Amino acid sequence: MDRIRIVGGSKLNGTIPISGAKNAALPLMIAGLLTDETLILDNVPRLADVAQLQRILGNHGVDIMSAGKRPGDHEYQGQTLHISAANIIDTTAPYELVSKMRASFWVIAPLLARMHEAKVSLPGGCAIGTRPVDLLIMALEKLGAELTIDGGYVIAKAPGGLKGAEIDFAKVTVSGTHVALMAATLAKGTTVITNAACEPEIVDVADCLNKMGARITGAGTTTITVEGVAKLHGTRHTVLPDRIETGTYAMAVAMTGGDVQLSGARPELLQAALDVLVEAGATVTPNNDGIRVARNGAGIKPVNVSTAPFPGFPTDLQAQLMALMTTAKGSSHITETIFENRFMHVQELARFGARIHLDGETATIDGTAKLRGAPVMATDLRASVSLVIAGLVAEGETMVNRIYHLDRGFERLEEKLSACGATIERISG
- Give the shortest CB-358-to-ligand UD1 separation in angstroms: 18
Q: Using the rule CB under 6 A, which residue among 17, 32, 110, 176 binds ligand UD1?
A: 176
Residue 320 touches ligand UD1, criterion: CB under 6 A? no
341/147 Cα distance (integer angstroms): 29
181/195 Cα distance (integer angstroms): 13
Confirm if 182 and 226 have CB atoms less than 8 A apart: no
Residue 315 touches ligand UD1, criterion: CB under 6 A? yes
9/196 Cα distance (integer angstroms): 43
Q: Using the rule CB under 6 A, which residue among 105, 153, 313, 339 binds ligand UD1?
A: 339
Q: Which stretch binds ligand UD1 (CB under 6 A): 1-9, 88-96, 156-164, 166-174?
A: 166-174
Give the nearer residue to ligand UD1 in terms of CB position, either 6 or 30: 30
Residue 69 touches ligand UD1, criterion: CB under 6 A? no
Q: Using the rule CB under 6 A, which residue among 64, 113, 135, 154 binds ligand UD1?
A: 135
Binders of ligand UD1 among 284-313, rule CB under 6 A?
Answer: none
- Give the shortest CB-323-to-ligand UD1 separation in angstroms: 17
Contact partners, residue 135, CB within 8 Å, separation at least 6: 169, 170, 171, 173, 175, 176
| Amino acid, single-letter form, for residue 34 | L
| Residue (of 102, 5, 85) closest to 49 by Cα position | 102
Q: Cα–Cα distances in Å, from 351 out to 1, 295, 412?
A: 21, 25, 25
Q: Which stretch binds ligand UD1 (CB under 6 A): 6-14, 33-41, 72-80, 174-182?
A: 174-182
196/309 Cα distance (integer angstroms): 10
| Residue (of 241, 312, 252) closest to 77 by Cα position | 241
∠ CA 198-203-207, rounded to 5°: 160
Q: Using the rule CB under 6 A, which residue among 140, 174, 334, 422 binds ligand UD1?
A: 174
| Amino acid, single-letter form, for residue 340 | E
Q: Using the rule CB under 6 A, which residue among 46, 55, 116, 131 binds ligand UD1?
A: 131
Query: Phi and psi dihedrals of 112, rounded to 5?
Result: -65, -45
Residue 344 touches ligand UD1, criterion: CB under 6 A? no
Q: Using the rule CB under 6 A, which residue among 73, 152, 171, 285 binds ligand UD1?
A: 171
- Give the shortest CB-175-to-ligand UD1 separation in angstroms: 3
Q: Cα–Cα distances in Å, from 12 out to 104, 255, 376, 407?
A: 36, 9, 22, 21
| Amino acid, single-letter form, for residue 407 | D
Confirm if 187 and 228 have CB atoms less than 8 A apart: yes
Determine which one of 126, 198, 208, 420 is catalytic.
Answer: 126
Q: Is 126 among the residues known to form the active site?
A: yes
Give the nearer residue to ligand UD1 in terms of CB position, either 196 or 214: 196
Give the nearer residue to ligand UD1 in terms of CB position, either 172 or 300: 172
Site string for ligand UD1, 197-216 (x = CB under 6 A): x-------------------
Give the nearer residue to ligand UD1 in terms of CB position, either 135 or 216: 135
Give the nearer residue to ligand UD1 in terms of CB position, either 327 or 407: 407
Site string for ligand UD1, 81-110 (x = CB under 6 A): ---------------------xx-------
Q: Which stretch binds ligand UD1 (CB under 6 A): 88-96, 131-139, 355-363, 418-426?
A: 131-139
Number of H helices, E strands in the chain: 14, 24
Confirm if 323 and 389 have CB atoms less than 8 A apart: yes
Q: Which stretch binds ligand UD1 (CB under 6 A): 127-135, 261-269, 319-327, 347-355?
A: 127-135
Residue 333 touches ligand UD1, criterion: CB under 6 A? no
Residue 410 touches ligand UD1, criterion: CB under 6 A? no
Treating both helix axes as pointing N-terminal to C-terminal, what angle do 108-115 and 134-142 enclose, rounded to 10 degrees?
A: 20
| Amino acid, single-letter form, for residue 321 | L
Contact partners, residue 275, CB within 8 Å, separation at least 6: none
Q: Using the rule CB under 6 A, which residue among 10, 92, 173, 332 binds ligand UD1?
A: 173
Q: Using the rule CB under 6 A, which residue among 10, 19, 23, 91 binds ligand UD1?
A: 23
Answer positive or negative: Cα dihedral of 50, 53, 59, 63: negative
- # of chain residues touching ligand UD1 (CB under 6 A): 21
Q: Rule CB under 6 A: which residues touch ligand UD1?
A: 23, 26, 102-103, 129, 131-136, 171, 173-176, 197, 315-316, 338-339
Please list the active-site residues.
126
